Structure 1
Amino acid sequence: MKTIKFQLEPLTCPSCIKKIEGKVGKMEGVEEAKVMFNSSKVKATFDQDKVTSEDLKTTIEKLGYPVVS
């Protein structure tokens, strides 16, 4: 398992948390997805054999949340 953090542009609403955690958390190979609202970061623990960090980033951005790092 690998853990990665993504820095997002500032989040503006608490409902963003559920949206991101729900979508990323349901991806095959993702063990946990956690959004830290105050710091606008997403932390994900995942199986590198099933999903890549680029897949996670793409999914977050498709939801409308640009990843800045």
Structure 2
Amino acid sequence: MYTASFRTQPFTTPACIQDIESSLAEKDGIVSAVVDFTENKVNVEYDSMKTNVEKIADLITKLGYPVLSTKVS
């Protein structure tokens, strides 16, 4: 498992948290997704055999939250 932190454009409302977390949780290969509203980050634990950072960033962007940078650990 890997963890990636995606910095996004600022979130507009706390409702964004539920939208992002629930949408990502439904995707194959994503183990967990946690939004840090104050830091404009989405922290995702994922299975690299099923998905990758680029696909996850694309999913976040398609939800309306453009990814500005990514850090993998």
Q: Tell me, in whole angstroms, the C-alpha distance in 1 between the residues paired with 2:42 and 2:23.
A: 12
Aligned-pair distance for 1:12? 1.2
Code of the residue aligned with 1:22 in structure 2: it is S
1:9 paired to 2:9 = yes
Task: Provide the aligned C-alpha RMSD in A.
Answer: 0.6
Stretches of 4+ aligned residues off by more than 3 angstroms: none
Q: TM-score, normalised by structure 2?
A: 0.91
Code of the residue aligned with 2:3 in structure 1: it is T
Identity level (%): 39
Q: What is aligned with 2:54? A: 54
Aligned-pair distance for 1:65? 0.5
Q: Which runs of 5+ in 1 are unaligned?
A: none
Aligned residue pair count: 69
Q: Which runs of 5+ in 2 are unaligned?
A: none
Q: TM-score, normalised by structure 1?
A: 0.97
Aligned-pair distance for 1:26? 1.2
User: Any idea what SS the aligned residue of 2:33 has?
Assistant: strand
User: Any idea what SS the aligned residue of 2:68 has?
Assistant: coil
1:1-69 alignment, distance < 5 Å: 1-69=1-69
